[in-house]
Chains A and B, each alone.
Chain A
């Protein structure tokens, strides 16, 4: 591969030294054309020469999230430059999302193997969403959970024998409708009496024995949400 120019932004000197060492020993193609310890130095370096890769730490000095801002500006001002985030923010997931939104090509967490040649090369080849092992694990974990939740919704309808009317009844209960109001809905051909009966049946289905005492409409609706029978993102009343 051709040689490419790199700017490293890192506020802790000792860490900077380690990063430089990694480039020197493992990625000889990379030419480190400058290092910056704060925001103003970054722009100074950019004015001198535009790099192919910006290795960016998120926190600089007292400003702990300024990297996001730098990333955003680099993306707009120098669209050709790749931005790889190299950060110690191993817990702050929100910041990852922010920086991805700002246009970063990838995030490498300062843990485990740290920065590897492969990761840098992938970025240089134009690959988006480059992550190292620790962050990938976290992302996959989140993904699994969200898929599980989806599955549960389908399962819930089957395992609790929820029909269309049950779903509608529960959904409107969750929206704060009274039984009288629900009985007025076009899609509900029932009277209040039979809604009450339906509610009692739902309680029996959704709650294990011993927990059914004192369950009211609110508790029932919350239970339906917990069991993913209702989807919080699609909680809309029927159109009348």
Chain B
């Protein structure tokens, strides 16, 4: 209300002035002198300023400039009292009076000052931009200024730079702040205007804007500046600056007392002496200074600085650990803020700030103030106090209060995002306008030139045309050369890619080979297991006969015992075999995000849709450490089970729950549920008949899926104690659905291991790590949080190699900026919002752990980075303005270009004539070629792009076609071919990966099955033996039952294994015998590398030319290697590997002439024996060839060789000639 009244008054006054244009010079001088005096009292006594300015105002009714200057002085008074609205209305008034440029400049500077304080970045830069324009204008008029004007000019310039510097300083942009101070013209730094000189020195004092050798040097320099400011302000009674300097001293002395005492003894003693009244001796210098400053500010009636000084006092108390006193100081400071608010805006919002009000936790009064456009306040001011409050509360262990204040603090900072680029934009606009004028000018000049040059052109036309044609025909044209370069590079790149793809394929191929070999071995084991079944049947048969005979013949009893012994021998072989692989960690343990697997499972929703079951896969954030393909297998198995046992309309949910140690993966369904007995069976018995589980007849038969899942979990547990948290279980109630779950270890501290994980991106890890950090803070695990932060920082550092690394804390004062700020400034890519968050979380954790240095460092780093990345908030307005300017310039430019063109055309018509048409042909050709290049580069087809320029220049047509063909043959076709090859290679690799995973899972499960068989059936043979030995006539029944039960369990276990074996990995192909032989020789040499003297091997391939067999190449080689391993196990060997045709088959013969073996030994080679395990593998592989070759009759025989020694031969089906 008051401001409106002011404006009305001012407008009436201005009318008066408008009526009366003339003034007397005497009055002018008086007004000027009053204004000058008012100015000189600015920092001495604010009331005097007001008084003098009012007097000037009353005298200057007919002197517009004097009148405006008086108002500007009043504006300063209002500014000092923080009545920002009134400052604004005064400046509006001054503008409406159109004073001279100098006064307008002063008005702009005043505006900057206000906006700096109220944190209105955009308006600040507006004012700054205007001020700069005016300063540029005034610089040329310097010589014509009156002394009074010169004084104002000096003031305006210094004030401009100092305010700008202050602004940047508060925006944490030290470099700009320093630059602004450096821009203060040197002549102005001296005693032309003492107040400004003091101001300048004060600015350099405590700001951290001085550069120096080390921390000490910087402190001393700063002290010198400050001391200079202090002495001068005392001498000239500039109370405001005296108080400010004292306040700065108090902060400085708090940490550097001894340094200053030793390095600046005179100044130190003087200051101490001057503050004996303030009990410097008892309370210490800092407190004395601050108390003194406080009283000065109070006298000066300056609320802002009073509050700041209270804050400083609070900090001193805080440092001395007098937390109660510190708190009361901060409350005083807050009280000052409230006073300011109530004084000007009490009628708008009567709410005031409190240090902490537990009833009001969710509300932030200052946020409401800032959001209310009618209220102007100083966000930085409140933010400073809030931050200190959060610290002191934290130190007093009042977590809630501390958090409340910290949140308010962060809110305030978020609300005051700055817009740095605005300044650049002002310049940009200016530059554009200039450029526009320049272009128009150029256009006009060009127009003039056109006529002049036209005839010159026409003369040189013929010559140039000839040259251009020559260039094109010889391929010297620049774009053509560039394209050639690009094309060559592109082809090289594609070649590299193909090589890489080939390498990857090779890797995948190896993976498949390894797994396939392991698989063959496992199948051989399964065969061994099956080999026991006939013995069991024999026992069964004997028992049956005993029962039938009703008598026990001794030979039957004996035979049973022999059979049992044989079974035990087989079991022993199996045990040995399994033991041989013990210690080979065959699981592929990695760390991976669970969600990756969940996504894959979710993609399989089609099968669920078919059954009208809703599949719900929840998002999972956890990282787990396990075998990825096995985990996927388990989730799939459980999901498939759930699908089978859920009726239409039901729902299957897959989710993950995180606990401290493990992640529990759950698959829940709304199906029929299980009885408690079934649950017991599933979770506890190692072997059970799956078909007995479940209720309804059609729902029966869980298969071996659940057994396999449990087996995998058991295997994890056996692998390492790290997996001790693993478990598998089910919660279920009849009719209420079931939840199957398993637990895998969750990755917490081992995040760094992830770096070795190639398949998922660094960004995932970083995000996961940040989430963990956030969660840790949320749940009060602050030390954990700091650890996470450490990991995260390492990760981020790895993302930015070659740049200075981030640290959790950096105490080196010569580092003005944190590393990440440098990254951001250098434009290094990165998720800076995340880093801001990281710093904030670390600050929060540090606050809670009372680690204040860590807090301060991270808080500051957070704020600075935040401010840096949020420099751009007014982009829309900028674009708007740019667009307008663009449109304007476009219209002007178009007009001038049109004009130029029209006139040029006239010149062209009249001067150059048809000669140019030929040149156009060349240009069109060039354009066409450029288009061709572009299309090739964008990987588009050039089929549709044909050149047509017939009636003008037919020669161009011929050349265009030649170029086209050239491009097609040399670039496009090879590129397409390479791309095709790469994509084929990638597909093949994907297929191999898939196969490898399948085999891997199969192997793991077979491992489990086999070890279960080993464990579960070991015990029965000896029982049978015991019973058989002690059996009497009437005792046949228990033996019969035992044998039957054993048989039942055993076949059940075999079925589980068979289920895996029934998925063939066999791949039938035609393999050249020649290659098999040479590969075998390589394998033989590899096997006997260490004993080459005693073990010789040669290949005789005289009879195999062009011969091929039908086989799986990988398995065939394994078969060869197995036999070679067997034959090379003797102390010496002299091996010949050969092959020949044998009817429909090809016979491969391995003959050893260095050893001889008995018929008995040869016959036993292919029966289970620990020493001949390779033979068992060979037998299994041959058996598979027999099965899948569609022609039985493959042989594998060991026999005496003609002419000494022995031989092993095998036959494989011959491939029909192609």
CB atoms of A65 and B562 under 8 A apart? no
B29 at the interface (CB under 8 A from A): no
User: Would A62 and B1192 count as touching, CB distance under 8 A?
Assistant: no
For residues 138 through 155 of chain A, which have their beta carbon under 8 Å from a beta carbon of chain B? none
A12 to chain B, nearest CB (A): 7
Q: Is A162 an interface residue, CB under 8 A from the partner? A: no
Q: Which of A18, A65, A94 has a CB less than 8 Å from the CB of B542?
A: A18
**Is the pair A62, B1166 in contact by a Cβ cutoff of 8 Å?**
yes
User: B1187 contacts A111, CB within 8 Å?
Assistant: no
Tell me if B1195 and A62 are in contact (CB < 8 A): yes
The answer to whether B562 touches A14, judged by C-beta atoms less than 8 angstroms apart, is yes
In-complex Cβ contact of B1193 among A61, A66, A92, A94 (8 A): A66
In the complex, whether A179 has a CB less than 8 A from a CB of chain B is no
The answer to whether the Cβ of B1198 comes within 8 Å of any Cβ in the partner chain is yes
**A63 & B1196 in contact (Cβ 8 Å cutoff):** yes
Stretch at the interface among A34-42, A45-53, A219-227: A34-42
0 or 1 for each of B519-532: is its CB under 8 Å from A? (1 = yes): 00000000000100
Q: Which of B619-640 contact A (CB under 8 A)?
A: none
Residue B183 at the chain A interface, CB threshold 8 Å: no
**Which segment of B172-180, B331-339, B533-541 sits at the interface?**
B533-541
Q: Which residue of A lies closest to B1196 (CB)?
A: A62
From A18, A110, A112, A210, contact of B559 by CB (8 A)? A18
* Residue B1165 CB within 8 A of the other chain: yes
Let me know if B538 and A114 touch, CB within 8 A.
yes
Please, how many angstroms separate the alpha-carbon atoms of A95 and B1166 in the complex? 21
Q: Across the interface, do A38 and B1163 meet the contact criterion of CB distance under 8 Å? A: yes
Task: Give Cα A88 to B537, complex, Å.
Answer: 9
User: Once the chains bind, are B1194 and A65 in contact (CB under 8 Å)?
Assistant: yes
Per the bound structure, the CA–CA distance linking A138 and B542 in Å amounts to: 24
Q: Specify which of A110, A112, A210 is in contact with B612 (CB 8 Å cutoff).
A: A210
Question: Is A17 on the interface with B (CB-CB < 8 A)?
Answer: yes
Q: Is the CB of A69 within 8 A of B537?
A: no
Q: A62-B1175, A64-B1183, A114-B538 are in contact. Are A21 and B559 (CB under 8 A)?
A: yes
Find out whether the CB atom of B1198 lies under 8 angstroms from the CB atom of A61.
yes
- Structural contact, A68 and B1192, CB atoms closer than 8 A: yes
A40 to B1187, CA, bound (A): 23
Partner of A64, one of B553, B556, B1186: B1186
User: Which of B533, B541, B1178, B1198 gathers the greatest number of chain A CB atoms within 10 Å?
Assistant: B541
Minimum CB distance partner of B1189 in chain A: A65
CA distance A210 to B562 in the complex (A): 63
Contact A69 B1182 (CB under 8 A): no
On chain A, the residues within 8 Å of B1197 by CB distance are 38-39, 61-63
User: What's the nearest-Cβ distance from chain A to residue B738, in Å?
Assistant: 26
Report B543-561 residues with CB < 8 Å from chain A CB.
Answer: 544-545, 553, 555-556, 559
A203 to B583, CA, bound (A): 59
Asked whether A95 and B1192 contact (CB < 8 A) given A61-B1197, A63-B1182, the answer is yes
In the complex, whether A163 has a CB less than 8 A from a CB of chain B is: no
Which residues of B have CB within 8 Å of A110? 534, 537-538
Decide yes or no whether A113 CB sits under 8 A from chain B: yes
Is A196 close to B, CB under 8 A? no
Contact check: which of A14, A37, A64, A95 meets B1163 at CB < 8 Å? A37
| Binary contact track A41-81/B, C-beta < 8 Å → 1, others 0 | 00000000000000000000111111011000000000000
Min CB–CB distance B146 → chain A (angstroms):
91
A98 at the interface (CB under 8 A from B): yes
Q: Is B566 interfacial (CB-CB < 8 Å)?
A: yes
Q: CB of B1199 within 8 A of chain A? A: yes
Binary interface encoding of chain A residues 10-41 relative to chain B, with 1 for a CB under 8 A from any of its CBs, else 0 = 01101101100100010000000000011110
Interchain CB contact (< 8 A) of B1182 among A14, A38, A62, A113: A62
Chain B CB within 8 A of A90 CB:
yes
B residues 1171-1218 near A (Cβ < 8 Å) are 1175, 1178-1179, 1182-1183, 1186-1187, 1192-1199, 1210
Tell me the smallest distance from the CB of B1174 to a CB of chain A, in Å: 12
> Taking A15-B534, A18-B559 as contacts, is the C-beta distance between A61 and B544 under 8 angstroms?
no
Would you call B537 and A63 a contact (CB within 8 A)?
no
> Quick check: B1166 and A61 within 8 Å, CB to CB?
yes
Contact between A12 and B559 (Cβ–Cβ < 8 Å)? no
Contact B1194 A63 (CB under 8 A): yes
Q: What residues on B are CB-neighbors of A95 within 8 Å?
A: 1192
Q: Mark A146-178, 1 if CB is under 8 A from B, else 0.
A: 000000000000000000000000000000000
B-side contacts of A90, CB under 8 Å: 533
CB of A14, distance to nearest CB on chain B (Å): 5
Contact residues of A between 79 and 111, Cβ < 8 Å to B: 88, 90-92, 94-95, 98, 110-111
A51 nearest CB across to chain B (Å):
22
Query: Which residue on chain B has the smallest CB distance to residue A115?
Result: B541
For chain A, which range describes its interface: under 10, 10 to 19, 20 to 34, or 35 or more residues? Answer: 20 to 34
With A17-B562, A98-B1192, A114-B537: A61-B612 Cβ-Cβ less than 8 Å: no
Cross-chain contact A14 with B535 (CB below 8 angstroms): yes
Rounded to whole angstroms, the CA-CA distance of A68 and B1192 in the bound complex is 7
- With A18-B538, A18-B559: A61-B1187 Cβ-Cβ less than 8 Å: no
User: Out of B541, B555, B1195, which one reaches A63, CB within 8 Å?
Assistant: B1195
Chain B neighbourhood of A63, CB < 8 A: 1182, 1194-1197
Q: Is the beta-carbon distance between B1163 and A61 smaller than 8 angstroms?
A: yes
Residues of chain A within 8 A (CB-CB) of B535 are 14-15
Given A17-B562, A21-B559, A95-B1192, also A62-B1198 (CB < 8 A): yes
Could you tell me which residues of chain A, from 187 to 225, have a CB within 8 Å of some CB in chain B? Answer: 210
Task: Tell which of A39, A63, A88 has the most Cβ of chain B within 10 Å.
Answer: A63
Produce 1/0 per residue, B16-38, CB < 8 A to A.
Answer: 00000000000000000000000
Docked Cα-Cα span, A14 to B1198, in Å, equals 20
A62/B541 in contact, CB under 8 A: no
Would you give the shortest CB distance from B666 to chain A, in whole angstroms?
29
Question: Which chain B residues lie closer than 8 Å to A15 at the CB level?
Answer: 534-535, 538
Q: How far is the CB of A239 from chain B (nearest CB, A)?
A: 33
In the bound complex, residues from chain A placing their C-beta under 8 Å from that of B1192 are 65, 68-69, 95, 98
Across-interface contacts of B559 in A (CB, < 8 A): 17-18, 21
Docked complex Cα distance between A114 and B553 (Å):
18
- Bound CA–CA A61/B1179 (angstroms): 8
- Whether a CB of chain A sits under 8 angstroms from the CB of B1167 is yes
Q: How far is the CA of A17 from the CA of B542 in the complex (A)?
A: 12
The CA of A98 and the CA of B1178, in the complex, are separated in Å by 23
Cα distance A36–B1116 when bound, in Å?
Answer: 29
Instruction: Identify the closest chain B residue to A109 (Cβ).
Output: B537
A171 to B1187, CA, bound (A): 34
Shortest distance from the beta carbon of A117 to any chain B beta carbon, whole Å? 11
A62 touches B542 (CB 8 A): no
B553 neighbours in A (Cβ, 8 Å) = 25
Query: Whole-angstrom distance between the alpha carbons of A88 and B1165 in the complex?
Result: 20
Tell me if B91 is interfacial: C-beta within 8 Å of chain A: no
Once the chains are docked, how many angstroms separate the CA of A11 from the CA of B1179? Answer: 14
B1195 and A66 form a contact (CB under 8 A): yes
Bound-state CA distance A66–B545 (Å) is 31
Which of B190-232 touch A at CB < 8 Å?
Answer: none
Q: Does B56 contact A (CB under 8 A)?
A: no
Residues from chain B with Cβ under 8 Å of A114 in the complex: 537-538, 541
What chain B residues lie within 8 Å of A92 (beta carbons)? 1187
> Contacts of A64 on B, CB cut-off 8 Å?
1179, 1182-1183, 1186, 1194, 1196
- The CA-CA distance from A25 to B548 in the complex, in Å, is 13
Question: 7 closest A-B pairs (Cβ-Cβ)?
Answer: A62-B1196, A65-B1192, A62-B1166, A88-B534, A63-B1195, A114-B541, A64-B1183
Q: List 22 A-B contacts (CB under 8 A).
A: A11-B1167, A14-B535, A18-B563, A21-B559, A38-B1163, A39-B1197, A61-B1197, A62-B1166, A62-B1210, A63-B1196, A64-B1182, A64-B1183, A64-B1196, A65-B1192, A66-B1193, A90-B533, A110-B537, A110-B538, A111-B533, A112-B537, A112-B540, A112-B541
Q: Which A residues contact B (CB, under 8 angstroms)?
A: 11-12, 14-15, 17-18, 21, 25, 37-40, 61-66, 68-69, 88, 90-92, 94-95, 98, 110-114, 210
